[in-house]
């Protein structure tokens, strides 16, 4: 009996969807933003008014703004990062569940 | 003065102000601790218990009376005392109560509620009322702002359970209110004025100077236990000598806003007759409002029930003509007396509003709007008066009854009267209360406790609202710092960073369980599938069906060779370790920032000021609170 080989691509497992994971990570990120705002708000009202600021206090204000800005930017980047990671996870998992394979078989005559 | 904990004025004022913050008992205690430490530099000398009207069974949650009872107890420091902090005027209903109780002198509901709350709180703190002494065996100190001072002080005069009463920008005692609330004072006045035995309402016609003096004499023994602070610019201070009101006890007046003269001078220029009419209007307004809509206020203003007129239809001429005659005559008879106070007000509108404008409380535009509104009300009232007079004259001249043409003319007047009554109700509804709100806003600041606290500032301590700032003791430039804000930055800041750390940890865990582990599980599943298929090729014959092979053919798969390379985790970009690292670093930056603030504040003060210890205390309070 001759054997024949064909090359096919087949999905072995169903498509996976990770949007719920994305939502839960996103919720934590939003909580982190809220906490960041809370933290920065905490620094208000140390002094009575802006006119009192000398070099030392100015420096503190600048440091606060710098930290606030860096931290918030980090959390903004995180949104993009979550998006990319979940997209990649979905793509990788769905790709690894679809195989390209060579199948070698033998064939008999059909039974009358 | 008997109290040991809130013995300083600043402390009492700040605790009184705390009542408006609507805090949970835990947060309230924390704030009391903070304020006490800020003011005295020491921790509270006694254990603190708090009971609020929110926990009360005696006070309905719908009630306008709100308050907090605080008990301090320490055997070691020999402290055992209770403070009742009543909440002052805030909402619209409270202001309606102000009109009723303070101007009209009618209601004393909140006074009774304050007394009931005190009994319940003292019972909660396990004190027993000694009926022989007529008091509790513990000092009870009342604190109140605005209307709450009237409530506490009146409760003291009527029920005699407070040891001391402190008020700030308080509404004064009212002898009309006390006449209704205190049976002993009522009896005293009835003995002085027998007419009150037959008609209690006659009290409003009695000589106000005499009544005031009677009240002061009757309650003189309690005066030494009442103390008040006033802002000169507070509108309640301006009206403290309004008809019916009287002050008792020690008073300290503070100049809190040099930009405004205060309205006491303005009221000083208004004669007593005018104030009496104003008071009558307040009573009328109160009675009308109690019944519901503005049409009831119209009824009270005009002194008759206008429902008959409002419901009267043309065909009623045939069936209710006699009642119409009676009602027209009644209205006509009632109008002159009823309208007198209204005309007094509207006749004086120009001078009153000009005084307010001159004092800078209202703008030219606001004055014009209020003038228009008063004029419209006056116009509607004049129209009602004129129409009723026409109808009455028509009836007086036609004893035999009216002929048809007269009925038509009369019906026309009547139709206009119905319209005028409706218009008056609408005018009252449309009264530009927001113009008064703007005025009240500008007066409100002087009425608040914050402005008065600010006036207590000195060259070392300064209040912004009710927050305390202290001046640096090093360096040439003045820098005012709030130690409690510094403590909050350090204490709450650390707590917030801790919460942030927990969130980052949660993010990391979620990432590991829902991304990294999922990827590995899927990878294992795929590899297992590949191994299995390659080891058992003939079990996967269904792979051939979609490719045109009929199941009727007998085929045997001898080999499967999967060409896929299953990616490893390190080949992907799924790893977020670097981001997590940056997030953790942001927490560290937060801690550094807090430390930087703390060191900066400490550097502004001399070592002997013990600023570091004070910040430590505040910080600990926030962290442990």
- A9 vs B: CB within 8 A: no
pLDDT tens-digit series, residues B287-331: 555 556 667 777 777 777 777 777 777 677 667 777 777 777 787
B residues 585-604 closer than 8 Å to A (CB)? 586, 589-590, 593, 596-597, 600-601, 603-604
* 8 Å CB contact of B469 and A97: no
Q: Which residue, B260, B144, A95, is CA-closest to B156?
A: B144
pLDDT of residue B92 exceeding 50, the answer is no
pLDDT of residue B93 exceeding 50, the answer is no
CA-nearest residue to B560 within chain A is: A103
3-class secondary structure, B169: coil
Residues of A in contact with B468 (CB under 8 A): none
Which pLDDT score is estimated for B122?
Answer: 97
Q: Which residue, B5, B38, B32, is CA-closest to B17?
A: B32
Residue B344 to residues A95, B316, B333, B348, Cα–Cα distance (Å): 90, 36, 19, 6
Strand partners, A105: A4, B557
Q: Which residue, B504, B162, B10, B296, is CA-closest to A36?
A: B504
Highest mean pLDDT, choosing among B256-265, B507-516, B543-552: B507-516
Nearest to A42 among B492, B576, B601 (CB): B492
What's the burial of B144, exposed, middle or buried (CB within 10 Å: 0-12/13-18/19+)? buried
Which pLDDT score is estimated for B17?
Answer: 94
Query: DSSP code of B242?
Result: S
Mean pLDDT of B279-291: 59
Which pLDDT score is estimated for B198?
Answer: 93
Give me the helices (H) in B515-570, please. 517-535
State chain B's mean pLDDT as an integer.
83
Which pLDDT score is estimated for B273?
Answer: 60
Which pLDDT score is estimated for B541?
Answer: 77
In contact, B48 and B32? CB cutoff 8 Å: yes
Residue B114 to residues B66, B103, B289, Cα–Cα distance (Å): 8, 20, 24
Residues of B in contact with A102 (CB under 8 A): 559-561, 563
* 8 Å CB contact of A70 and B563: no
3-class secondary structure, B78: coil
Residue B319 has, within 13 A of its CA and on its CB side, a CA count of: 5
Instruction: State how far the Cα of B241 lies from the Cα of B265, in Å rounded to an integer.
Output: 11
Nearest to A89 among B492, B574, B590 (CB): B574
Which pLDDT score is estimated for B507?
Answer: 96
Mind telling me how many Å the CA of A58 is from chain B's nearest CA? 11
Which pLDDT score is estimated for B555?
Answer: 78
Residues of A in contact with B510 (CB under 8 A): 21, 24-25, 28
Longest Cα separation, chain A? 103
- C-beta neighbour count of B280 within 10 angstroms: 20
Domain ranges across chain B = 9-172+224-254, 273-431, 481-624
Mean pLDDT of B442-458: 82
- B554 vs A: CB within 8 A: yes
DSSP letters, A57-108, are HHHHHHHHHHHHHHHHHHHHHHHHHHHHHHHHHHHHHHHHTEEEEEEEEEEP
Residue B106 confidence class, pLDDT cut points 50, 70, 90:
low
* 8 Å CB contact of A81 and B479: no
Which pLDDT score is estimated for B146?
Answer: 87
* 8 Å CB contact of A92 and B574: yes
Domain ranges across chain A = 18-98
Contacts of B534 (CB under 8 A, 6+ apart): B559, B560, B561, B562
Its ipTM equals 0.89
pLDDT tens-digit series, residues A49-96: 555 555 556 677 788 888 889 999 999 999 999 999 999 999 999 999
pLDDT of residue B420 exceeding 90, the answer is no
Mean pLDDT of B407-435: 71
B residues 47-76 closer than 8 Å to A (CB)? none
Residues of A in contact with B567 (CB under 8 A): 92, 96
Nearest to A110 among B493, B553, B572 (CB): B553
3-class secondary structure, B138: coil
Q: What is the dihedral of CA B527, B529, B535, B536, to 10 degrees?
A: 180
Mind telling me how many Å the CA of B131 is from chain A's nearest CA? 51
Residues of A in contact with B478 (CB under 8 A): 52
In contact, B114 and B67? CB cutoff 8 Å: yes
What tokens appear for B263 in the block?
């309205």
* 8 Å CB contact of B489 and A42: yes
B residues 499-518 closer than 8 Å to A (CB)? 499-500, 503-504, 506-507, 510-511, 514-515, 518
Q: Which residue, B383, B457, B372, B452, is CA-closest to B422?
A: B383
pLDDT tens-digit series, residues B364-400: 887 787 778 778 877 887 888 888 887 777 766 665 5
Mean pLDDT of B525-533: 93
pLDDT tens-digit series, residues B128-184: 999 888 889 999 999 999 889 999 999 999 999 999 999 999 889 999 999 999 999
More confident residue, B1 or B242: B242
Which pLDDT score is estimated for B51?
Answer: 97
Residue A42 to residues B216, B306, B488, B496, B618, Cα–Cα distance (Å): 50, 60, 7, 9, 14
Which pLDDT score is estimated for B182?
Answer: 96
Mean pLDDT of B412-422: 77
Mean pLDDT of B44-57: 95
* 8 Å CB contact of A74 and B583: yes
Q: Which of A89, A94, A95 should one mutate to test binding to chain B, selecting the residue with the greatest count of B CBs within 10 A?
A: A89
Least confident of A10-24, B445-459, B576-590: B445-459
Residues of A in contact with B529 (CB under 8 A): 12-13, 99
- B498 vs A: CB within 8 A: no
Least confident of B115-129, B357-371, B442-456, B523-537: B357-371
* 8 Å CB contact of B572 and A56: no
* 8 Å CB contact of B564 and A96: yes
pLDDT tens-digit series, residues B227-272: 999 998 887 787 787 778 899 999 999 988 777 666 666 555 555 5
Q: Listing from the earlier edge strand, what are the strands of the sheet with B467-471?
A: B461-464, B467-471, B480-481
pLDDT of residue B335 exceeding 70, the answer is yes
pLDDT of residue A47 exceeding 50, the answer is yes
Q: What percent of chain B has pLDDT over 90?
A: 41
- A112 vs B: CB within 8 A: no
Residue B372 to residues A90, B107, B342, B425, Cα–Cα distance (Å): 71, 32, 15, 16
pLDDT of residue B95 exceeding 70, the answer is no
pLDDT of residue B285 exceeding 70, the answer is no
Which pLDDT score is estimated for B401?
Answer: 57
Nearest to B572 among A35, A63, A92 (CB): A92
């Amino acid at each position: 009996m001759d054997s024949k080989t064909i090359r096919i691509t087949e999905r072995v497992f169903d498509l996976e969807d990770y949007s719920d994971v994305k939502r839960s990570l996103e919720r934590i990120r939003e909580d982190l933003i809220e906490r960041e705002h809370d933290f920065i708000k905490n620094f208000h009202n140390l002094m009575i008014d802006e006119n009192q600021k000398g070099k030392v206090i100015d420096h503190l204000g600048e440091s606060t703004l710098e930290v606030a800005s860096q931290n918030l930017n980090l959390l903004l980047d995180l949104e993009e990062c979550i998006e990319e990671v979940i997209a990649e996870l979905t793509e990788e998992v769905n790709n690894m569940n679809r195989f390209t394979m060579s199948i070698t078989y033998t064939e008999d005559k059909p039974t009358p | 003065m008997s109290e040991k904990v809130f013995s300083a004025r600043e402390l009492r004022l700040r605790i009184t102000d705390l009542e408006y913050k609507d805090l949970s008992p835990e947060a309230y205690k924390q704030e009391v601790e903070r304020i006490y430490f800020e003011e005295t530099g020491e921790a509270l000398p006694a254990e603190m218990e708090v009971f609020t009207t929110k926990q009360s069974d005696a006070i309905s949650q719908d009630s306008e009376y709100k308050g907090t009872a605080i008990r301090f107890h320490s055997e070691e420091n020999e402290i055992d005392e209770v403070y009742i902090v009543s909440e002052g005027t805030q909402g619209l209903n409270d202001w309606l109560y102000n009109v009723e109780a303070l101007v009209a002198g009618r209601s004393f509901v909140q006074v009774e509620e304050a007394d009931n709350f005190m009994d319940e709180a003292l019972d909660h703190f396990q004190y027993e009322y000694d009926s022989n002494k007529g008091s509790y065996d513990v000092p009870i100190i009342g604190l109140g702002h605005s209307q709450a001072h009237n409530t506490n002080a009146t409760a003291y005069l009527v029920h005699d359970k407070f040891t001391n009463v402190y008020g700030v920008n308080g509404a004064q005692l009212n002898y009309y209110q006390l006449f209704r609330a205190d049976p002993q004072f009522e009896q005293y006045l009835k003995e002085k004025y027998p007419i009150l035995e037959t008609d209690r309402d006659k009290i409003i016609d009695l000589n106000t100077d005499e009544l005031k003096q009677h009240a002061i004499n009757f309650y003189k023994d309690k005066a030494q236990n009442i103390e008040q602070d006033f802002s000169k610019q507070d509108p309640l201070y301006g009206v403290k000598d309004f008809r019916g009101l009287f002050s008792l006890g020690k008073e300290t007046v503070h100049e809190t806003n040099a930009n405004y003269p205060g309205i006491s001078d303005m009221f000083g220029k208004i004669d007593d007759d005018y104030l009496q009419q104003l008071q009558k209007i307040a009573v009328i307004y109160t009675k009308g409002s109690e019944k519901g809509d503005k049409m009831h206020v119209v009824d009270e203003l005009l002194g008759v029930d206008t429902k008959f007129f409002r419901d009267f239809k043309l065909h009623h001429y045939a069936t209710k003509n006699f009642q119409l005659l009676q009602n027209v005559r009644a209205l006509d008879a009632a109008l002159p007396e009823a309208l007198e106070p209204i005309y007094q007000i509207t006749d004086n509108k120009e001078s009153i509003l000009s005084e307010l404008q001159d004092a800078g409380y209202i703008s030219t535009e606001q004055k014009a709007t209020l003038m228009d509104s008063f004029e419209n009300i006056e116009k509607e009232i004049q129209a009602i008066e004129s129409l009723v007079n026409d109808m009455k004259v028509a009836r007086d001249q036609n004893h035999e009854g009216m002929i048809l043409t007269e009925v038509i003319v009369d019906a026309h007047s009547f139709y206009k009267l119905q319209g005028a009554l409706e218009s008056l109700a609408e005018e009252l509804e449309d009264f530009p209360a927001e113009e008064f709100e703007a005025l009240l806003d500008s007066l409100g600041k002087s009425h608040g406790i914050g402005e008065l606290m600010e006036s207590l500032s000195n060259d070392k301590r300064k209040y912004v609202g009710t927050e305390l700032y202290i001046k640096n003791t090093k360096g040439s430039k003045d820098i005012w710092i709030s130690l409690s804000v510094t403590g909050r930055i350090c204490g709450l800041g650390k707590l917030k960073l801790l919460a942030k750390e927990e969130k980052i940890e949660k993010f990391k865990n979620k990432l590991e369980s829902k991304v990294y582990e999922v990827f590995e599980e899927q990878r294992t599943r795929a590899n297992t599938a590949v191994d299995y298929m390659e080891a058992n090729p003939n079990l996967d014959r269904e792979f051939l069906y979609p490719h045109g092979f009929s199941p009727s053919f007998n085929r045997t798969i001898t080999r499967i060779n999967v060409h896929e390379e299953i990616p490893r985790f390190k080949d992907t970009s799924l790893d977020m370790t670097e981001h997590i690292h940056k997030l953790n670093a942001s927490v560290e930056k937060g801690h550094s920032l807090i430390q930087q603030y703390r060191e900066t504040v400490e550097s502004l003060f001399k070592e002997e000021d013990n600023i570091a210890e004070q910040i430590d205390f505040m910080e600990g309070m926030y962290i442990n609170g």
